[in-house]
Structures are given as C-alpha cells and as structure tokens.
C-alpha cells in the first residue's frame, strides 16, 4: 500500500505542539495594518489553537 501524502498547504499553516495540539496563526495581519491599532496588531500576532470543529479534518490532511 502506498504512503499517504501530507497536504503541503496545511503543513505550512499549522504546527503540532509536543502535546499534540494544533496551532495556527491568526488572520488579519497581512494588509491594512496602518488602519489597525497597535493593540489589535499585538493581539493578532499570537498563535491560537485550531477550532475544535476543524481538528479532525486538519489532522487527516496532516496524516495524523
């Protein structure tokens, strides 16, 4: 049986922590930054867990 391929698009966007949690970057930091407040920019800069509803699908795409 052939090996499954990891979806390269999702592999670039999601990182798996040591405990197995899926972490992603928040949206909204690519353009129109001069309009956004510094507080908003700081708050968006962190990483957040993938939504619970999407975890099963993302794990399948990562081959886990």
**pLDDT value for 10:** 97
pTM of the predicted structure, to 2 decimals: 0.86
Cα 54 to the center of its chain, rounded Å: 11
> Which residues have a Cβ under 8 Å from the Cβ of 6 and sit 6 or more positions away?
61, 62, 63
pLDDT at 5: 94
Which residues in the chain come in under a pLDDT of 70? none
Q: Is 16 exposed, middle or buried (0-12, 13-18, 19+ CB in 10 A)?
A: middle
- φ, ψ of residue 50 to 5 degrees: the values are -65, 145
């Amino acid at each position: 049986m052939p090996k499954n391929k990891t979806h390269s698009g999702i592999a670039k966007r999601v990182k798996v922590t040591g405990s197995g949690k899926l972490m992603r970057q928040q949206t909204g930091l690519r353009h129109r930054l001069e309009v956004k407040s510094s507080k908003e920019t700081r708050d968006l800069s962190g990483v957040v867990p993938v939504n619970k509803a999407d975890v099963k699908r993302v794990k399948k795409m990562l081959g886990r």
